[in-house]
Amino acid sequence: MTWALAGDLAIAAYLVLLADVDRRTGRLPNRLLAPLLAIALAAACVHPPAVAGALVAATVYLAGFLAHSCGGGDVKLAAGCGALLGSMAAALLAVAAAALLTVVLCLVTRRQAVPHGPALVAATLAVGMLRLLSEL
């Protein structure tokens, strides 16, 4: 296993941990999001298009936050996920997929609201895998 792959797997496991915390508690605490934002900053320094991914994803979620449709933790998670995806297009695809997953989950569970972090993490991991596979 290469160091890059080991790092990607560690970040994926960390994202899954964040999703599980949100699923169980309905919250994404700042102390758990801080490492993601540090990783996102490092990604932006190494790969400048990651800034666009972070800004696009965070802007969409900021609009949702201002409309009382998601929490502040979701905005920070979106910024981190957008940066990790590394481009505006990938971030937009993940945001759209996460929204669709959340709507489907609400319909299936017959609830008006569900924690959104798990859908965003699932969409981020799926889009990341698609990008990785397209590079092979």
pLDDT tens digits along 74-100 = 999 999 999 999 999 999 999 999 999
Question: pTM (2 decimals)?
Answer: 0.93
What is the predicted pLDDT for the residue at 136?
67
CB atoms within 10 A of CB 85: 27
Q: Report the percentage of the chain scoring pLDDT > 70.
A: 97
Residue type, 99: A
pLDDT reading at 1 higher than 70: no
Whether the Cβ atoms of residue 128 and residue 84 lie closer than 8 Å to each other? yes
pLDDT tens column, 17-43: 999 999 999 999 999 999 999 999 999
Cβ 49 vs Cβ 87: under 8 Å: yes
Q: Which residue has the tokens 């990651």?
A: 50
